[in-house]
Amino acid sequence: MAIAAQTPDILGDRQSGQDVRTQNVVACQSVANIVKSSLGPVGLDKMLVDDIGDVTITNDGATILKMLEVEHPAAKVLVELAELQDREVGDGTTSVVIIAAEFLKRANDLVRNKIHPTSIISGYRLAMREACKFVDEKLSVKVEKLGRESLINCAKTSMSSKLISSDSDFFANLVVDAVQSVKTTNSRGEVKYPIKGINILKAHGKSAKDSYLLNGYALNTGRAAQGMPSRVAPAKIACLDFNLQKTKMQMGVQVLVTDPRELEKIRQREADMTKERIEKIFKTGANVILTSKGIDDMALKYFVEAGAIAVRRVRKEDLRHVAKATGATVVTTFADMEGEETFDSSSIGYADEVIEERISDDDVILLKGTKNTSAVSLILRGANDFMLDEMERALHDAICIVKRTLESNMVVAGGGAVEAALSVYLENLATTLGSREQLAIAEFAESLLIIPKVLAVNAAKDSTELVAKLRAYHHTAQTKADKQHLSSMGLDLLKGTVRNNLEAGVIEPAMSKVKIIQFATEAAITILRIDDMIRLVKDESQNDED
């Protein structure tokens, strides 16, 4: 029986038992329904308008949920879930939310049928472990020496649901080139792909097909003054995080001047301090100075005379990336332990050349041939801002997926193949168990079919028929030893048929699928454990006392 009565010792209202569960499930369902229609190669986009009228057009699950202001505490768990998936894998944000909501819905039905939540939770946990094991052992295919073809296919699969799917051949090549050019080997001999070294710059004009890959890290700002050279080679780079403006007295420092002639000396000294600082930088041989703060006109004069490039107001993030790529150290102050001002040459970074170029209407500074990691930039062209933003989101997902594929070497077939296979496998597993968890595992198996169902519905195909065919194939694959190859049968959503997606090149990194199942299960369990909700109201009497 649900108690919604006000208890005298709790200020607020308390709901417990089935009421809360149903409420949480409904909230999560509604969040999942928002992103449901954007799943798959024929998914539709959402237009989000915020309170000041800024428009975002996207079908990236994490972006949609981030822009929505979700009030309900249980639904917030799903929003965080999408963000986690975005951070960990980079793609699959929509799927993870849909699956988690479906798990919850099914679990709620079981609770209504008098099955204790604890039994459901242990069943879900068992199903999750078995599912991940099955993906790793049976469904994932090791990519032999990672041919370029499979990387391109992974990138294309990731882009298939995005705005740029029509040009996916072109962009997949760009993405694979970009990720492979930032390859590094760390001290332990592991090959890593630091995708932070890929800078994405958006420039208006031309068509999407005119986007290109630039070898070098591009900064979206120009030189600070026109008198500076537009190219220096070889470049020695200083990264600063302070002002190169006329030194002012600190706040609260008062200077009492008795002799007006002394005043001019103080002014002169203030000007000289900045000049000395700049000379200290030049002594180390630096000829490119990047600062995240300002440089005033008086200081610019010295840079122009020295024939160096100075760039002001560089984004902190860019500054860190440049420092990492060139081997520089970001210097936040000149002060040393003795209280003197020094600038050490060890904090200088190196690059083959630094050059200013014009891209559409903007000047950009390119750092080429950096010392540590090779940095590349993707210059995106497109008709308008919405298009460019969505292209950037799509490429971010594709870049993450290619990185994951390269680092884990395992891929699985896409298009609902994994979910259908797991569903069949777990259903068979459930029938072998004689414990209460059996029902939970059966529901878990059923829930996974939501992905092929939604994919088919979004493609305007008959989902019942397609999912039935798909399950039949996977059942055969798992029961007959000579039909193993059928385990990669997935949906072809353009034709509305079932095909072998491994051969068709619709593939995803296995890690992405495993993480989706793990995260969705964890999130569902978190919400399922809640059986009591107490909303506190502000205590009015305290406010009166204040």
Predicted TM-score (pTM) of the model is 0.82
- Set 45, 60, 318, 389: catalytic member: 60
Q: Which of 56, 63, 94, 370 is catalytic?
A: 94
Higher pLDDT, 60 or 106: 106
Fold agreement between 14-142+412-536 and 217-373: no
Establish whether 94 is a catalytic residue. Answer: yes
**Active-site hit among 56, 93, 157, 291:** 93
Of the candidates 395, 70, 389, 56, the one whose C-alpha atom is nearest the C-alpha of residue 46 is 56
CB 96 within 8 A of CB 447: no
User: Which one, of 487, 481, 513, lies nearest residue 502 by Cα?
Assistant: 487
Mean pLDDT value of segment 469-475:
89
CA distances from 87 to 82, 99, 399, 445, 476 (A): 9, 18, 13, 27, 37
CB 482 within 8 A of CB 507: no
* SS3 state of residue 249: coil
- pLDDT mean over 96-112: 91
Residue 360 pLDDT > 80, yes or no? no
- pLDDT band at 544, cuts 50/70/90? low
What is the pLDDT, as a whole number, of residue 10?
Answer: 57
Q: Which of 157, 397, 405, 521 is catalytic?
A: 397
pLDDT above 60 (res 88): yes
Q: Is the pLDDT of residue 313 over 70?
A: yes
Say how far apart CA 140 and CA 130 lie, in whole Å: 14
- pLDDT score of 285: 81
Q: Is 464 a catalytic residue?
A: no
> If you average pLDDT over every residue of the chain, what do you get?
83
The span from the CA of 272 to the CA of 267, in Å, is 9
Q: What is residue 9's predicted lDDT score, i.e. its pLDDT?
A: 61
Q: Please compute the mean of the pLDDT values over residues 63-81 and round it to a whole number.
A: 86
- pLDDT attached to residue 546: 55
Other residues' Cβ atoms within 10 Å of the Cβ of residue 49? 11
Mean pLDDT of all residues in 190-196: 78
Residue spans per domain, the chain? 14-142+412-536, 144-215, 217-373
Q: What is the per-residue pLDDT across 375-406, written as a single tens digit (0 to 9) for each?
A: 788 888 888 888 888 888 888 888 888 888 88
User: Residue 241 has what pLDDT?
Assistant: 82
Q: Which are the contacts of 251, defined by CB distance < 8 A and separation ≥ 6? A: none
Span 14-142+412-536 CATH architecture? Orthogonal Bundle (1.10)
State how far the Cα of 94 lies from the Cα of 506, in Å rounded to an integer: 18
Statement: residue 129 has pLDDT above 70: yes
Residue 26: pLDDT above 70?
yes
pLDDT the model gives residue 373: 67
CATH number 3.50.7.10 given to 217-373:
yes
- Give the whole-angstrom CA distance, residue 434 versus residue 140: 30
